[in-house]
Amino acid sequence: MKFQRKGPWLETIVSQEWNGLTIDQILRDVWNGPKKQIHQLRMEKGILINGDHAIWSKPLCLGDIIQIKFFSDEEFGVIPSYIDIDILFEDDHLLVVNKPSGLDTHPNEPGQSNTLANAVAFYLQSKGEFRKVIHIHRLDKDTTGAVLFAKHGFVGSILDRMLEERKIQRTYLALVSGLIKKKRGTINEPIGRDRHHPTKRRVSPTGQKAVTHYQVLKIFPKTNCSLIQCSLETGRTHQIRVHLSSIGFPLIGDHLYGEKTTLTRQALHAAKLAFVHPFTAEKVECHAPFLDNPAIFPPDSFQLMK
């Protein structure tokens, strides 16, 4: 299906793919949409068929024009603040941003304005798009790389579910202290809070389930470190950092978890984000270039990824 935005409306023309389906079936079964927003669209008469209010139980016909009110102006939810950001992908529904080091993903206290979410709000405001800023996942303050944002609540709820169902693949590059001899492995250890430190996490039998897969891409005997690729089945706070430290290979620069070099941040980068677009069904694959100056990672890191 092909879509285009017309003011507050998302418009499409019914093709063979949707011929005979009802609006209710499309929202619930095809898009697996959120019940709350589907109910809201029905109550607010937010769907038109050929310019008239939709009859939700009536089968659609080839050539019918569907309009769905997805793009109403909203408060950003954060203070728009100019910070230069690198947009990796954007359409009417979502955007992927390459987060630099030193930025929180979103405000952690009222009035905070120096986060990636504030920068996204400013960017959208500059384009005349007044949307609530919705982050689908987050990165630690000093972790860099791809972060996914939704531009409206309907797609935000769909993306949240996709993340839970592991339909959004996040691939990380990490430099760890030590030479990992095992070429690949899985760390399946629950993670909980550290009672002795306000922000630290630890492997704990009473923690939440956490699974990290890793693969060694290259070892550097002279500097006693390894370049690895990681993927997550779960998204716990500090997951990669905690898991790698727990097996004796903390991230280079990760002072919180026991690594002692003078690097100013942990060497962790969200290098790739891949998913199927919930509306267009197209494969979206974003590669986030390194932003560090001077460089932290080897220049051939992306070429070594599996």
For residue 254, indicate whether it is catalytic. Answer: no
Q: Per the residue annotation, which of 140, 142, 160, 292 is the catalytic one?
A: 140
Longest dimension (CA), the chain: 71
CA atoms within 13 A on the CB side of 76: 22
Closest CA relative to residue 210, chosen from 246, 176, 175, 181? 246
Work out whether the CA dihedral 259, 260, 262, 264 comes out positive or negative.
Answer: positive
Among 40, 90, 6, residue whose Cα is nearest residue 277 = 90
Rounded CA gap, 188 and 114, in Å? 35
Contact 177, 228 (CB under 8 A): no
- CA within 13 Å, CB half, 151: 23
- Measured CA to CA, the distance from residue 182 to residue 305 in angstroms comes to 17
Element (H, E) at 164: helix 153-164
The span from the CA of 196 to the CA of 201, in Å, is: 10
The rounded distance, in Å, linking the Cα atoms of 267 and 67 is 46
| Cα 232 to Cα 228: distance, rounded to the nearest angstrom | 13
| Collapsed DSSP state (helix, strand, coil) of residue 88 | strand
Residue positions annotated with a catalytic role: 140
